[in-house]
């Protein structure tokens, strides 16, 4: 499975093309819409999230509620495009036309300056329209399809918030993936610990008041994994590596951890590694899951636990110094409207990004043209390894 996305933030539409999804997988647009709507929520999100509800149109690859095995294309129309037609239209401009809203002032922390230098865009709108996190809606679309496939195979994925601005939300490690999903879904900051949630919301409101922004840590939890997914035989087949790369590709993500992650550096080996047990009922399993579901680039069959660190949103009311590329003069970059925190939304994005990598690995390892055949192969494999 692979996918491409296309579309500018204020362009006509976002497009996702997903290839390699098996045929005969039940799929309806509402399953994707549910994910898109979840991405738009979270305490502290701005006006755009309220005026525009993302809804998907499936324009290929699905017929009568089932996938065809052909490329699936998803389209999310930008309702606001009517207001941007002149600025974002594809037709050449009339000579006398004035290009409005050109941007010659790169914002620190964004792709503006590097992208302008690289692609020769003196109007940096040409960069920011694509580098904007609006694109993550298209990626969530691909992940939503992956989640449908995984669910049919008994694999569930949940994304939620573990930390905002240094306020940590503890998780009861015995919670199932369904409980994690349900509890975080009911929280305005997508987290468990109500006390921490209250403090997080205060921190978000405070940052907004001060014209500042705050970051945090999102976590994704995956249950129902067969062991042995991914491989140790070649570096680019290590599934933890692939997931890490994919998480790092999310806008504003600056680090990834599996299980104990960086904490492993501070502990003895006996307090890091997970002892191996076997029972008739469960087959092989680990006494603990400190390594977050991976050994040797392969799944252990224990839940995958992966964290991603999101930096504070770079667009600030509080001015940061930058340089106007036309005049070369310094100016203080500040804006009138921005979210102060998007970690809750980013946890939804991360959930879908991880789901896609896992679905991709499964379709590589098992016959994946026809979904019932894939399911049989996964079920047989699960049986085989239980009594190995």
Ligand X SMILES: Cc1cc2nc3c(=O)[nH]c(=O)nc-3n(C[C@H](O)[C@H](O)[C@H](O)COP(=O)(O)O)c2cc1C
Closest CB to ligand X among residues 187, 315: 315
Q: Contact positions toward ligand X, by CB under 6 A?
A: 109-111, 131-133, 136, 250-252, 311, 313-315, 338-339, 342, 345-346, 349
| Distance of closest approach, residue 17 Cβ to ligand X, in angstroms | 21
- Of 373, 323, 361, the closest CA to residue 150 belongs to 361
Give backbone dihedrals phi and psi of 359, rounded to 5 degrees, phi first. Answer: -60, -40
How many other C-beta atoms can be found within 10 angstroms of the C-beta atom of residue 234? 8
Closest CB to ligand X among residues 111, 306: 111
Closest CB to ligand X among residues 303, 308: 308
The DSSP annotation for 230-255 comes to: B-SSSGGG-HHHHHHHHHHTSTTEEE
| Distance of closest approach, residue 133 Cβ to ligand X, in angstroms | 3
Closest CB to ligand X among residues 111, 304: 111
| Distance of closest approach, residue 338 Cβ to ligand X, in angstroms | 5
Closest CB to ligand X among residues 110, 180: 110
Closest CB to ligand X among residues 140, 155: 140
Q: Are 224 and 165 in contact (CB under 8 A)?
A: no
- Please identify which residue in the block is written with the tokens 């040797």: 296
Q: Are 81 and 12 in contact (CB under 8 A)?
A: yes
| Distance of closest approach, residue 349 Cβ to ligand X, in angstroms | 5
| Distance of closest approach, residue 352 Cβ to ligand X, in angstroms | 11
| Distance of closest approach, residue 15 Cβ to ligand X, in angstroms | 19
Name the closest residue to ligand X (Cβ).
315
Integer Cα distance of 95 and 149 in angstroms: 51
Rg (CA), the chain: 22
Closest CB to ligand X among residues 155, 201: 201
What is the largest distance, in Å, between two alpha-carbon atoms of the chain?
78
| Distance of closest approach, residue 229 Cβ to ligand X, in angstroms | 26
Helices (H), the chain: 29-39, 47-51, 85-88, 112-119, 125-131, 136-152, 177-185, 194-209, 239-248, 343-365, 371-386
- Please identify which residue in the block is written with the tokens 């974002």: 88
Integer Cα distance of 376 and 189 in angstroms: 39
């Amino acid at each position: 499975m692979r996918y491409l996305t296309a579309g500018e933030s204020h362009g006509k539409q976002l497009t996702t093309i997903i290839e390699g999804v098996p045929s005969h997988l039940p799929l309806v647009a509402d399953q994707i819409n549910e994910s898109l709507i979840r991405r738009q929520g979270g305490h502290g999100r701005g006006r755009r999230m309220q005026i525009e509800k993302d809804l998907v149109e499936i324009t290929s690859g699905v017929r009568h509620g089932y996938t065809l095995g052909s490329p699936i294309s998803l389209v999310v129309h930008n309702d606001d495009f009517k207001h941007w037609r002149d600025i974002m239209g594809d037709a050449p401009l009339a000579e006398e036309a004035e290009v409005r809203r050109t941007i010659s002032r790169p914002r620190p922390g964004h792709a503006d300056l590097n992208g302008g230098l690289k692609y020769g865009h003196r109007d940096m709108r040409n960069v920011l329209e694509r580098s904007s996190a609006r694109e993550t809606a298209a990626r969530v679309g691909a992940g939503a399809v992956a989640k449908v496939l995984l669910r049919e195979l008994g694999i569930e994925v949940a994304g939620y918030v573990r930390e905002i601005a240094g306020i940590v939300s503890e998780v009861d490690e015995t919670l199932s993936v369904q409980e994690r999903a349900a509890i975080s879904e009911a929280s305005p900051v997508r987290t468990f610990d109500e006390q921490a949630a209250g403090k997080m919301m205060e921190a978000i409101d405070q940052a907004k008041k001060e014209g500042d922004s705050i970051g945090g840590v999102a976590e994704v939890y995956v249950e129902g994994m067969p062991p042995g997914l991914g491989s140790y035989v070649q570096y680019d087949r290590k599934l933890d590596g692939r997931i890490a790369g994919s998480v790092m590709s999310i806008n504003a993500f600056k680090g990834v951890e599996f299980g104990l992650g960086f904490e492993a550096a501070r502990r003895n080996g006996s307090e890091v590694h997970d002892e191996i047990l076997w029972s008739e009922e469960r087959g092989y399993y680990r006494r603990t899951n400190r390594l977050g579901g991976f050994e040797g680039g392969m799944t252990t069959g224990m839940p995958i636990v992966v964290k991603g660190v999101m930096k504070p949103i770079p667009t600030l009311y509080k001015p940061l110094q930058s340089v106007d590329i036309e005049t070369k003069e310094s100016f203080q970059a500040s804006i009138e409207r921005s979210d102060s925190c998007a970690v809750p939304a980013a946890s939804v994005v991360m959930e879908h990004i991880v789901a896609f990598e896992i679905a991709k690995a499964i379709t590589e390892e098992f016959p994946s043209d026809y979904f019932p055949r894939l399911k049989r192969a996964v079920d047989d494999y699960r049986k085989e390894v239980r009594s190995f």
